[in-house]
Amino acid sequence: MKGLIATASLLLCAQASASVPHPFGIHDLVMLERVSDPQISPDGKRVAWQVRETDYENNKGRNGIWTIELGNPKAQAARLTDAAANATAPRWSADGGAIYYQDKGQIWRLPAAGKGAALQASDLALDINAYKFSADGKQVLLSIDTWPDCGKDDDPIACTKKHNDDKAKSKASGRVYDKLFVRHWDTWADGSRSQLYIAAVDANGKIGAPKLLTRGIDGDVPSKPFGGDDEFSFSPDGKSVYFSVRIAGTSEPWSTNFDIYSVPADASAAPKNLTAANKAWDTAPVPSADGKTLYYLAMKRPTFEADRFGIMALDLASGATREIDPQWDRSAGGLKLSADGKTLFATADDNGEHPLFAIDIATGKVSKLAGDGSIHEYSVHGNDIVFSRTTLKTPADLFRVAAKGGKATELTNQNSTKMAFVDTGAFEPFTFKGANGDSVQGWLVKPAGFDKAKKYPVAFLIHGGPQGAFGNDWSYRWNPQTYAGQGFAVVMVNFHGSTGYGQAFTDAISGDWGGKPLEDLQKGWAAALEKYTFLDGGRACALGASYGGYMVYWIAGKWNQPWKCLVDHDGVFDNRMMGYSTEELWFSEWENKGTPWDKPENYEKFNPVNHIKDWRVPMLVIHSEKDFRIPVEQGLAAFTALQRRGIPSELLTFPDENHWVLKPQNSVLWHDTVNAWLKRWTAQ
């Protein structure tokens, strides 16, 4: 930790010596503390949460658990866990006397008062992926990667440990596969499955021997690579367990058919599929307080990962289902139940923000509880909700709001010292008429230290997804403030396909990647130039990642006139090859309305590789070697085309990063390289 402390101290000293705040930059971004996962105590008097700090010298993050008293305006946040720990996922004991957390692959228990050493609650031969306690705290669900063939063994964990040890001793490195996924996101498949186990918790908080609940389930609980503990839950009485899983078989890479299963907590019967009738995505089971109803999220269209998530109610006795919110044209997430059982809470993209909503279960009426930015994780207890919120100018902090609504109050200011020494750019949304005459929203971020008498070069950012959006939110990867701090104005357009403007708007991009979205970008650029006279349209560069990277390659051949330079991060260069080499085939096949051999014309209609002869603009290509979503060969091929055509170009690649650049020093190199490229080509 000495390196972290020294780096942070030097940074703060340098900032404090400045007479005025300095423009926000990448070194500021990577050193910010990241607030997440708030959890209100059982008595409602405290909240615990996770904070990620940056150990820059060792090129990684380190996590700790913090708490603060609720209802006391003079309360100060305090760190509970030792600085040497890497503590994540705080969870209160049922009596509120202790806090559990994860570290070193196991679960630990610490007195909530902060007095006393942390005790190891679990001692398993394998790492724990995720966990959740029953309401009475006497049982805990554990997700553990085990070998499928060990599911028939009395002790699958010991069996898997032996299998792993034997495998490690072998000198042969080859692997034989007979089905996809061969690799997923950034990891080659090793044959294991994330399975759900249950264990008893004794009076001292020690976790006993786990028992397999998902025996016979060929799938991962939670889902890989980003699933969490919201994908499984206990019934209120602790006698049943619900979980969401996609049965793998041989069709997993082109299926989004997740179903919700129930299983007795004593593992006395096999898991039962509760949502088999729906061939699309069912997830996030939340039992009612009386245990008679199961609420969950469901899509309607199989193989479409960006379909709208509706909120469903399942009568567990009859099996009847109904959609609670059919009139709400938003896709819900983060589902939780109110204390009185009459209201469900959810977050959703909504017109450039990500607010918290309350949904009346009886009527389906939706009310906004809190907004003014993007609300991420939250916790509910009685009449209290504690949530994390970000904006385009502020990283996450915790806020408190009444479950019935009202003004939100700030609980923490985790980055106040660091943000006090930086100058960020003001922001505002703007709208214009895009493709089909539809209203389209964009965002403008002014340069730090803005002077209305000056003209500024422009960074034109294009978001990925493509079913995503730029919003009033904070990012640690594509943060417009890092460009504003370099003296650029930033323009961002939420083109057709973006989320938060109704499902029809989101659907509009499928099968039309280079059509309406390009028209929106062109009209948005024109609208921004007309509205904001300080934009220097002759000194502008376009940048994008993932689908945004695809669009950079597309505009390189179809709309290259305005741009002095281009930056492409992990973009799709050859759409046909993408259909054969990406891992989640459902995405490519939905977007192109079929497979590359059944619908080759769809893969070629908007394929950037077919327009290389029209490329002319200098381009920086960035592509990482562990990106299995859009494999690195896509970036290498684009760089080859640029070099062969004699177009000024550079290639930046990271052997240890995936579709995202996550390591602090890699992030600094990424931003320094991009900023140097922008300045080189927009210099007056």
Convert 568-623 into a string of H (helix), E (strand) and C (coil).
Answer: EECCCCCHHHHHHHCCCHHHHHHHCCCCCCCCHHHHHHCCHHHHHHHCCCCEEEEC
Q: Which residues does 64 contact at the CB level (< 8 Å), separation at least 6?
A: 50, 51, 53, 79, 80, 81, 83, 85, 87
CA dist 642 and 639 (Å) reads 5
> Which residue, among 274, 106, 288, has the nearest Cα to 199 in the 3D structure?
106
| Residue-wise pLDDT tens digits, 424-463 | 999 999 999 999 999 999 999 999 999 999 999 999 999 9
Q: Is 118 helix (H, G, I), strand (E, B) or coil?
A: coil
pTM: 0.95
Q: Are 241 and 235 in contact (CB under 8 A)?
A: yes
Res 9 pLDDT > 50: no
Please report which confidence band the pLDDT of residue 265 belongs to, taking 50, 70 and 90 as the band edges.
Answer: very high
Res 152 pLDDT > 90: no
Strand 356-360 versus strand 366-370 pairing type: antiparallel
Res 282 pLDDT > 50: yes
Amino acid at 181: F
Q: Give the pair of three-digit tokens for residue 266.
A: 């004593």
Res 7 pLDDT > 80: no
Res 17 pLDDT > 60: no
Q: Are 608 and 554 in contact (CB under 8 A)?
A: yes
| Residue-wise pLDDT tens digits, 629-684 | 999 999 999 999 999 999 999 999 999 999 999 999 999 999 999 999 999 999 97
pLDDT at 114: 73
User: Quick one: CA dihedral 652, 658, 659, 663, positive or negative?
Assistant: negative
Residue 546 known to be catalytic: yes
Angstrom distances, CA of residue 16 to CA of 19, 393, 605, 649: 8, 20, 55, 39
Q: Annotated catalytic residue: which of 194, 331, 379, 546?
A: 546
Q: How far apart are the first and last CA of the chain?
A: 44
Q: Give the pair of three-digit tokens for residue 680.
A: 């080189």
CA dist 576 and 580 (Å) reads 7
Q: Annotated catalytic residue: which of 27, 496, 623, 659?
A: 659
Res 171 pLDDT > 60: yes
DSSP one-letter code for 207? B
> Which residue, among 536, 556, 531, has the nearest Cα to 544 in the 3D structure?
556
Q: Where are the alpha helices (DSSP H) in 487-569?
A: 503-507, 516-531, 547-558
Please report which confidence band the pLDDT of residue 418 belongs to, taking 50, 70 and 90 as the band edges.
Answer: confident
pLDDT at 151: 74
Q: Give the pair of three-digit tokens for residue 513.
A: 């990647």
Please report which confidence band the pLDDT of residue 19 belongs to, taking 50, 70 and 90 as the band edges.
Answer: low
Q: Are 388 and 397 in contact (CB under 8 A)?
A: yes
Q: Give the pair of three-digit tokens for residue 173.
A: 């490195």
Angstrom distances, CA of residue 135 to CA of 52, 140, 237, 264, 515: 28, 10, 8, 16, 51
CA dist 528 and 445 (Å) reads 11
Q: Are 448 and 484 in contact (CB under 8 A)?
A: yes
Q: Average pLDDT of 357-370?
A: 97
| Residue-wise pLDDT tens digits, 555-598 | 999 999 999 999 999 999 999 999 999 999 999 999 999 999 99
| Residue-wise pLDDT tens digits, 324-343 | 999 999 999 999 999 999 99
Q: Which residues does 31 contact at the CB level (< 8 Å), separation at least 6?
A: 7, 8, 11, 54, 56, 418
Q: What is the CATH number of domain 424-682?
A: 3.40.50.1820
Amino acid at 478: W
DSSP one-letter code for 659? S
Helix (H) or strand (E) segment spanning residue 634: helix 633-644
Q: Which residue has the higher pLDDT, 13 or 128?
A: 128
Res 209 pLDDT > 90: yes
Q: Average pLDDT of 522-536?
A: 98
Q: Are 300 and 470 in contact (CB under 8 A)?
A: no
Res 2 pLDDT > 60: no
Please report which confidence band the pLDDT of residue 475 belongs to, taking 50, 70 and 90 as the band edges.
Answer: very high
Q: Annotated catalytic residue: which of 28, 230, 325, 627?
A: 627
Res 395 pLDDT > 90: yes
Helix (H) or strand (E) segment spanning residue 66: strand 60-69
Please report which confidence band the pLDDT of residue 28 belongs to, taking 50, 70 and 90 as the band edges.
Answer: very high
CA dist 587 and 317 (Å) reads 36
Q: What's the whole-number average pLDDT of the chain?
A: 95
Q: Rounded to 5 degrees, what angle do the CA atoms 660, 524, 355 make?
A: 60
Q: Average pLDDT of 512-535?
A: 98
Q: Long-range CB contacts (< 8 A, 24+ apart) of 634-642? A: 634/570, 634/571, 634/572, 634/573, 634/574, 634/577, 634/578, 635/568, 635/570, 635/571, 635/573, 637/573, 637/574, 637/609, 638/553, 638/568, 638/571, 638/573, 641/573, 641/609, 641/612, 641/615, 642/615
Beta strands of 403-488 (E only): which ranges? 409-410, 422-423, 427-433, 439-445, 456-462
% of the chain at pLDDT higher than 90: 93
Please report which confidence band the pLDDT of residue 417 belongs to, taking 50, 70 and 90 as the band edges.
Answer: confident
Residue 627 known to be catalytic: yes
Q: Is 643 helix (H, G, I), strand (E, B) or coil?
A: helix
Residue 672 known to be catalytic: no
CA dist 228 and 271 (Å) reads 20
Strand partners, 345: 336, 358
| Residue-wise pLDDT tens digits, 83-139 | 899 999 999 999 999 999 999 999 999 998 877 789 999 999 999 999 999 999 999
By mean pLDDT, which of 84-93, 94-103, 408-417, 525-534 is the weakest?
408-417
User: Quick one: CA dihedral 412, 418, 419, 425, positive or negative?
Assistant: negative
- To which residue do tokens 């408190």 refer? 400
pLDDT at 16: 41
Please report which confidence band the pLDDT of residue 154 belongs to, taking 50, 70 and 90 as the band edges.
Answer: confident
